[in-house]
Structure 1
Amino acid sequence: MVETSRFQMGVIGALALSVASSVAIVICNKALMSNLGFPFATTLTSWHLMVTFCTLHVAQKFNVFETKSIEMKTIVLFGILNGVSIGLLNLSLGFNSIGFYQMTKLAIIPFTVLLETAFLKKQFSQKIKLSLFVLLLGVGIASITDLQLNLVGSVLSLLAIATTCVGQILTNTIQKRLNVSSTQLLYHSAPYQAAILFVSGPLVDQFLTKQNVFAYKYSAVVSAFIILSCLIAVSVNFSTFLVIGKTSPVTYQVLGHLKTCLVLGFGYTLLHDPFTERNIVGILIAIFGMGLYSYFCTHENKKTEQ
Structure 2
Amino acid sequence: MGEVSSFQLGVIGALFLSVASSVSIVICNKALMSNLGFPFATTLTSWHLMVTFCTLHVAQRLNFFESKPVDMKTVMLFGFLNGISIGFLNLSLGFNSIGFYQMTKLAIIPFTVLLETVFLKKQFSQKIKLSLFLLLVGVGIASITDLQLNVVGTVLSLLAIITTCVSQILTNTIQKKLNVSSTQLLYQSAPFQAAILFVTGPLVDQMLTKQNVFSYKYSPIVLAFIILSCLIAVSVNFSTFLVIGKTSPVTYQVLGHLKTCLVLAFGYTLLHDPFTGRNIIGILVAIFGMGLYSYFCTQENKKKQSGDLSIASQVKDRDHSSPLLGGKNTGHQDKESPEVKKPNKDSLV
Normalising by the residue count of structure 2, what TM-score does the alignment of the two structures yield? Answer: 0.87
State the SS of the aligned residue for 1:214: helix
Distance 1:267 1:82 in 2: 29
| Superposed counterparts of 1:43-62, under 5 Å | 43-62=43-62
**1:158 is matched with which residue?**
158
- Give the Cα–Cα distance (whole angstroms) in 2 for the partners of residues 275 and 190 of structure 1: 38
Unaligned runs of 5+ in 1: none
Report 1:288-303 matches (<5 A).
Answer: 288-303=288-303
1:194 paired to 2:171: no
Deviation above 3 Å: which 4+ runs of structure 1?
A: none
Aligned to 2:110: 110
How far 1:73 sits from its partner (Å)? Answer: 0.2
Determine if the alignment matches structure 1 residue 142 to structure 2 residue 142. yes
CA distance in 2, matches of 1:203, 1:267: 31
Paired amino acid for 2:215: A
Q: Which has the higher contact order (CA 8 A, sep 6+)?
A: 1
Amino acid at match of 2:28: C
Structure 1 position 78 matched with structure 2 position 78: yes
Partners of 1:55 and 1:267 in 2: CA distance = 31
Q: Output one character per residue of 1:113-138: Cα deviation in whole Å (capped at 9) or x when no partner.
A: 00000000000000000000000000
Q: For 1:88 and 1:301, how far apart are their aligned partners in 2?
A: 35
Q: Distance in 2 between matches of 1:267 and 1:213?
A: 28
Is 1:132 equivalent to 2:132 in the alignment?
yes
Aligned counterpart, 2:95: 95
2:176 paired residue number: 176
2:77 & 2:227 partners in 1: Cα distance? Answer: 29
CA deviation profile, 1:172-192 (whole Å, cap 9, x unmatched)? 000000000000000000000
CA distance in 2, matches of 1:248, 1:135: 17
Q: Per-residue deviation at 1:153? A: 0.5
Task: Please tell me whether residue 23 in structure 1 is matched to residue 23 in structure 2.
Answer: yes
Give CA deviations for 1:218-270 in whole Å, capped at 9, x if unaligned. Answer: 01111000000000000000000000000000000000000000000111112
The root-mean-square deviation of aligned C-alpha atoms, in Å, is 0.3
Match of 2:12 in 1: 12
Deviations 1:88-107 (A, max 9, x none): 00000011000000000000
Distance 1:176 1:85 in 2: 22
| Deviation, structure 1 residue 28 | 0.3
SS of the residue corresponding to residue 57 of structure 2 reads helix
**2 CA distance for matches of 1:31 and 1:273?**
14
What residue is the counterpart of 1:63 in the other structure? 63
How far does residue 272 in structure 1 lie from its aligned partner after superposition? 1.3
**Cα deviation, residue 271, structure 1:** 1.3
Whichever residue aligns with residue 63 of structure 1, its letter is N
Residue 221 (structure 2) aligns with: 221
Q: Distance in 1 between matches of 2:140 and 2:269?
A: 21
Identical positions, percent: 86
Distance 1:118 1:161 in 2: 16
Q: Give the structure 1 partner of residue 210 of structure 2.
A: 210
Return the alpha-carbon distance in structure 2 between the equivalents of residues 195 and 154 of structure 1.
Answer: 27
Mapped partners of 1:276, 1:220: distance in 2: 37
Counterpart position of 1:37: 37
Secondary structure at the counterpart of residue 214 of structure 2? coil
- Deviations 1:133-185 (CA, angstroms, capped at 9, x unpaired): 00000000000000000111000000000000000000000000000000000
1:39 partner SS: coil
1:221 and 1:269 map into 2 onto residues whose CA distance is 25
Q: Partners of 1:202 and 1:268 in 2: how far apart?
A: 33
SS in 2 for 1:275: coil
Larger Rg, first or second structure (1 or 2): 2
Distance 2:47 2:266 in 1: 25
| Counterpart Cα distance in 1 of 2:113 and 2:178 | 23
Question: Aligned equivalents of 2:305 and 2:191: distance in 1?
Answer: 39
User: For each residue in 1:41-95, what CA deviation from the matched residue of structure 2 results, as whole angstroms up to 9, or x when unmatched?
Assistant: 0000000000000000000000000000100000000000000000000000011
User: What secondary structure, in the 3-state scheme, does the structure 1 residue paired with 2:133 have?
Assistant: helix
Q: Which residue identity lines up with residue 301 of structure 1 in the other structure? A: N
